[in-house]
Amino acid sequence: MRNASAGGELWKQPLRITAMTLLPLHIAAGGLAMILGYLALAAPKGATLHRRSGLLFVYAMLVMGFSGSILAIQKSWTNANVLGGFMSAYFVVTALTTVRPVSIWTRRLNALALIVAIALFTAEICMGFKALANPGGTIDGAPYFMVFFIATIMLLAAAGDLRLRRRSSPLPPPARLSRHLWRMCFALFIAAGSFFSIRERVAKILPEPLTTPIVRALPIAVVFLAMFYWLWRVRVRGGVMRGLRAAGAGENAAVTP
């Protein structure tokens, strides 16, 4: 029994080392992603600040997402952050490939993204029904309605990927920017939501008056308000397209969030 106990402790030791290494990286990447994401939202679309902050946002989200998934797996395979990390990576990668020139690599990434989206949707649906069957209607602290909401988003994302795969020509500019905008904004929502939704996390950084539910909800609301505003500009007024042309972005430029 003593040997078995010692063997169990030896097995857990690498996990502890991994957590000690990844947790600071995860926190730093998440904080940086939020700063860069809000900066990209506020910057003139197509300008140098917009493109550079957006590209750095993608990198920060990838680090935050994958490190978060690894850390969450150590707690439970049904932890919401396990899928959340892969979801973050999915949204920023597909948003980035949307505004890149079409190539064999973007086609391959988009094909892989469709598979990932379907897998995430299936996993979220299964977790949602499991949460619904639990007495408290939650699974690892996540309520069933939030799990089903995320599953619905993944279904819409997969449908968009499927439509993109079926097209014989590139998306027209307004459709490209719309796809890019909502995916980048939803990735920012994941980062902001994971921080501002938990009061204990906010209280470690911000003063007490800024930890109330209303104040913590404001940064999350800003993401959606900005997203709908820019989607309106793209679809109705075309202001973003004019801004991109004025900034010299052009059709072949790499526009990031």
Q: For 205-230, what is each residue's pLDDT tens digit?
A: 888 888 999 999 999 999 999 999 98
Rounded distance between C-alpha atoms, residue 232 and residue 177, angstroms: 11
pTM higher than 0.75:
yes
* Per-residue pLDDT at 191: 92
Strand partners, 138: 143
- Higher model confidence: residue 168 or residue 102? 102
Of the two residues 173 and 58, the one the predictor is more confident about is 58
* Cβ neighbours, 10 Å, residue 201: 16
Question: Of residues 95 and 136, which shows the higher confidence score?
Answer: 95
Structure tokens at 207: 């003063």
Q: How far apart are CA 230 and CA 42, in angstroms?
A: 11
Cα 30 from Cα 45, distance rounded (Å): 23
Q: Count Cβ atoms below 10 Å from residue 250 Cβ, excluding itself.
A: 10
pLDDT at 78: 72
Q: What is the pLDDT of residues 13-30, one digit of tens each?
A: 555 656 678 888 999 999
> Which pLDDT tens digit goes with each residue over 153-169?
999 999 999 999 888 78
What is the reported pLDDT for 255? Answer: 42
